[in-house]
Amino acid sequence: MYMQTAAQRRQKLSRLRQELLESLERLRQTIEVALAHSPLIKGSVYQIARRCGNPNCRCTRSKLHRNFVLTWSEQGRHHMRSLPPGRVAEIRKKSKEYARLRRARSEILALGNRLLALVDEIQELRRETLRDD
Ligand SMILES: [Zn+2]
């Protein structure tokens, strides 16, 4: 480790303070995702195509049955539920909102860690040690 001049130290502190404020602002913006009121649905909406099993059905020869499902996992178990056609758009919107909140959560975690790291760096740069000399 090299000795920093007082000017270098001030410059670095100024940069860290700036980043601290910017990170705080980003944290504030990210937290807005959690402040929203819209309902959330855990899971992903997919369209699946399948045969129904009836040997006389047209799906054995040509068109498969298509329908939308919601899949999610809870405590390590996968779940799938088929969706009524009239609710697909609404459920898709809520599941996207859920995913958005999860992404925001990861970002909040990362920003929180960054804020702490910045505070620690600032602490070290501001710290004075008393010498015996
Ligand atoms: Zn069929």
Q: How far is CA 43 from the centre of its chain?
A: 14
pLDDT digits (tens, 9 = 90+) for 63-78: 899 999 999 999 999 9
Structure tokens at 2: 């090299």
Single pTM value for the model: 0.79
pLDDT of 132: 83
End-to-end Cα, the chain, rounded Å:
22
* Domains in the chain: boundaries: 15-126
User: How far, in Å, CA of 14 to CA of 130, rounded?
Assistant: 24
Residue 61 CA to ligand 1 centre (angstroms):
9
Residue 67 CA to ligand 1 centre (angstroms):
12
Predicted confidence (pLDDT) at residue 1 exceeds the cutoff of 70 = no
Residue 49 CA to ligand 1 centre (angstroms):
10
Residue 58 CA to ligand 1 centre (angstroms):
6
Q: What is the mean pLDDT of residues 25-51?
A: 96
Q: How far is CA 12 from the centre of its chain?
A: 31
Residue 41 CA to ligand 1 centre (angstroms):
29
Helices 88-126 and 6-35: angle between axes, nearest 10 degrees: 160
DSSP class of residue 70 equals: E
